[in-house]
Structure 1
Amino acid sequence: MELVAAATRRQQTHGDAIMLCVGQPSTPAPDPVRREVERVLDTHTLGYTEARGTRQLRTAISDHYARHYHLSVDPDEIVVSNGSSGGFSTVLLAAFEAGARIAMTRPGYPAYRNTVRALGCEPVEVVCGPETRFQPSVEQLEALPERIDGLIIASPANPTGTIIGADELAAIAAWCEANDVLLLSDEIYHGIGYGRPMSTAWATSRNAVVMGSVSKFHSMTGWRLGWNLLPAHLTRPVELLQGNLSICAPAVSQAGAVAAFTPESESELVGHVERYARNREVVLQRLPELGVTSFAPPDGAFYAYCDISHLTDDSQQWCLDVLDRTGVALAPGIDFDPVDGNRFMRLSFCGSTEQLNEAFDRLATVV
């Protein structure tokens, strides 16, 4: 976020900033969503909703799992949240006591580590590299020196874009269930993939928590709307906490999100993924121009996590210098890996193909 602030200043002073540092689609919400919001603004009061979310939206999410995963999900097993981030915090509060040990990958999304620590729990980092496609394995979990209470996984993952295969995900979910470990499966990038299939943790274990969101595939980041699929023992506690902490997710976002799950919206959104796929090819072709030959295979999402040890051993300062010299904003790896991330950077390719090529032109001249 410091890079975002610096890039914003750069845009104000130079007008040439290219934001490859944020995982935010450059496209608006689907047209059916915008039309539905216009309609409800004219016809509805849009007051508080049920704490767990409107029945209409939870039914739309339930139908989504039936269509895309062939899963039967009761709308009452779903709690809608203020973004997946809000749902993540609420689930942590409901499921764990202070001092609980919660495992997560390194590299990984920094808010996992920071939120777990802020709520009085202990992050347990599982170091993951190319040999496991930057994802945890059952063998690694078995080898942890102390018992864990929870495990956070993400597929596709941020910052690496890697996907956990169906068999591996099933094995992890089964291990968690057998060892009384609560699995939290972050699936907010589902729908954005490049030929490698995606599975959900609920295909194996209904004792897991599945986190979803309209932010990424549905191109609705600022609408702050997510959801959790919850095991029976957590549904009521999460609902009560949601009602106390935020009353409900934004009513206008909930109304619009119902339309996000329609075939018309999904047809529009598939077009975005096709553009991400073209951008991914640009990234794979042009990274060698920067001397970057080692990076996580971007199976999904819209990130490349790149080894830049031939350029720097201080990724944060390097990203600031690159921004200053080129106007291209990249995310320093130290954000995702506080130990080894000083030699990595994350590049986001969810913007326009033209801007992405322009960014590589500028980077190539500097490097």
Structure 2
Amino acid sequence: MDVMQAANALAARGHDLVRLEIGQPLDPLPDCVARAVSAALRAGPIGYTEALGVPALKAAIAGLYRRRHGVELDPARVAVTAGSSAGFVLAFLAAFEAGARVGLGVPGYPAYPAILSALGITPVPVPLAPAGGYRLGAEEVAGLAGRAEGVVIANPSNPTGTLIDGPGLGAIARAARGAGLALVVDEIYHGLTYDAPAHSILEQTHEAIVVSSFSKYQGLTGWRIGWAIFPERMIRAVECLAQSLYISPPGLSQVAALAALAPEAEAEFDERVRRFRASRDLLLEALRHAGFTEISPAEGAFYIYARIPEEAEDAGAFAQRLMEEGGVAVTPGADFDPVRGSRTVRLSYAGPPERVAEGARRLMRWR
């Protein structure tokens, strides 16, 4: 977010910046979502709802897993949350005691260790190699036996876009069970894959906790609405936690989320995914041409993680110069890997295709 603030400041001074630093789709709402929200506003006050979300939305989310993954899911296990960030807080509080240790793949989403640490839980970094596609697999999970009480898996991953296939998830579920680890799986970028569909951990086990969101595939970032799925035994405790933390998810956002699960909206989102794929391919080619190496798989989400050219300074200084001189904002890798991230950056291709294309041209021109 510091990079975004710096980019905002430059843009406010009249700089023409291509914004590849933040993963935020900025498309207009589908008409069916806008109509549903407008009707709800005309119908009367927007009040509190059930702490874990309105029944219709919980049932629709369960239906999503049936359609996408062939998983029969009791809607009572679904907790609608105030964004996925609240989902992670609920998941970590439900799964771990203070003082627990939790394995995290590195590079990874920086909010995981931040939230865990704030809750008195110790992150255990698991370094992931570019040669293996930055993939946290069953071997790494098994290696946490005796060193941790749980593990967080991202599928697809931020910042690398790495995707774990169905057999890989099955092996992870078995390894976690064998090592006695609680398993929390981030499925926020489901729907945003380009070469193969994403599989859910719920196809393999119902003992895992899943956290997901309406921010990415559906693009409802500012509406702060997401969901989590818990084993049945955790639901009452999660409900009490949610009531204490935020009473209920935002009522109007739940209206938007329910409409966003309609076929009419999903047709628009799928068209957006096709656009992301074209932008990804263009940016991958530009990075290779510009001398970037160790480029991540970019199989899902809308990110590419790459090593900066060898002649460049560290990634922080490189990103600053690229923003000021090259007109392109990217995120330094230290945000995702504090130890090894000084030579890497993350780029997002979630923006308008013409701006991503312009960013690709600027990267190839600027060295």
- Regarding TM over 0.5, the answer is yes
Match of 1:67 in 2: 67
Which residue does the alignment assign to 2:87? 87
Q: Where does 1:315-326 land on structure 2 (aligned, <5 Å)? A: 315-326=315-326
CA distance in structure 2 between the aligned counterparts of 1:294 and 1:103, rounded to whole angstroms = 24
Conserved 8 A contact 1:17-1:329 = yes
2:202 counterpart of 1:202? yes
2: distance between equivalents of 1:150 and 1:313?
Answer: 37
Tell me the distance in 1 between the aligned counterparts of 2:141 and 2:206: 20
5+ residue gaps, structure 2, are none
The separation in 2 between residues aligned to 1:94 and 1:34, in whole angstroms, is 35
Q: Secondary structure at the match of 1:346?
A: strand
Q: CA distance change for structure 1 residues 145 and 63 in 2, over 3 Å: closer, same or farther?
A: closer
1:168 and 2:155 are equivalent in the alignment: no
Trace 1:111-126 onto structure 2 (pairs within 5 A).
Answer: 111-126=111-126
1:107 partnered with 2:110? no
TM-aligned CA deviation for residue 59 of structure 1: 0.8
Tell me how far apart the structure 2 counterparts of residues 263 and 351 of structure 1 sit (CA, whole Å). Answer: 23
In the TM superposition, residue 294 of structure 1 has moved relative to its aligned partner by 2.4
Give CA deviations for 1:131-185 in whole Å, capped at 9, x if unaligned: 4321212222333473311110111100000101111111111222233311111
Q: Using the alignment, how far apart are the partners of 2:297 and 2:258 within structure 1?
A: 33
Structure 1: gaps spanning 5 or more residues: none
Whether the 8 Å CA contact 1:177–1:205 is kept in 2: the answer is no
Counting aligned pairs with the same residue, the percent is 40
Larger CA deviation: 147-156 vs 127-136: 127-136
Preserved CA contact (<8 Å) 1:187 1:212? yes
- Report Cα offsets for 1:68-89 as digits up to 9, x if no partner: 1111111101011110111101
Letter in 2 for 1:249: P
- Whole-angstrom distance in 1 between the partners of 2:165 and 2:156: 10
Partner of 2:12: 12
- CA contact 2:142–2:179 (8 Å) conserved in 1: no
**Residues 37 and 167 (structure 1 numbering): CA distance in 2 closer, same or farther, change over 3 Å?**
same
Q: 3-state SS of the aligned residue for 2:80?
A: strand
Instruction: Name 2:41's counterpart in structure 1.
Output: 41
Structure 2: how far apart are the matches of 1:314 and 1:307?
Answer: 10
In the alignment, the residues of structure 2 paired with residue 254 and residue 145 of structure 1 have an alpha-carbon distance, to the nearest angstrom, of 39
- For residues 181-211 of structure 1, give each alpha carbon's deviation from its aligned partner in whole angstroms, at most 9, with x where no partner exists: 1111100100011122311111111110011
Q: Partner residue of 2:364?
A: 364
TM-score (normalizing by structure 1): 0.97
Deviation of 1:34 (Å): 1.2
Q: Secondary structure at the match of 2:13?
A: helix
1:290 match: 290
Whether the 8 Å contact between 1:322 and 1:329 is mirrored in structure 2 is yes
For 1:313 and 1:201, locate their aligned partners in 2 and report how far apart those are by CA, in whole Å: 40
1:119 and 1:88 map into 2 onto residues whose CA distance is 11
Say how many residue pairs are matched: 367
Deviation at 1:15, TM superposition (A): 4.0
**How do residues 258-269 of structure 1 correspond to structure 2 at under 5 angstroms?**
258-269=258-269
**Which stretch of the first structure deviates more once superposed, 11-20 or 207-216?**
11-20
Deviation at residue 313 of structure 1 after TM alignment:
4.6
Distance 1:96 1:74, change over 3 A: same
Q: Displacement, 1:315? A: 0.9
Classify the secondary structure of the residue corresponding to 2:346: strand
Amino acid at match of 1:340: R
Q: Could you report, residue by residue, the CA deviation over 1:61-110 in whole angstroms, capped at 9, with x for unpaired residues?
A: 11111111111111101011110111101221222111100001000000
Q: Residue type of the partner of 1:222? A: G
Structure 1 contact 161–301 (Cα < 8 Å) conserved: yes
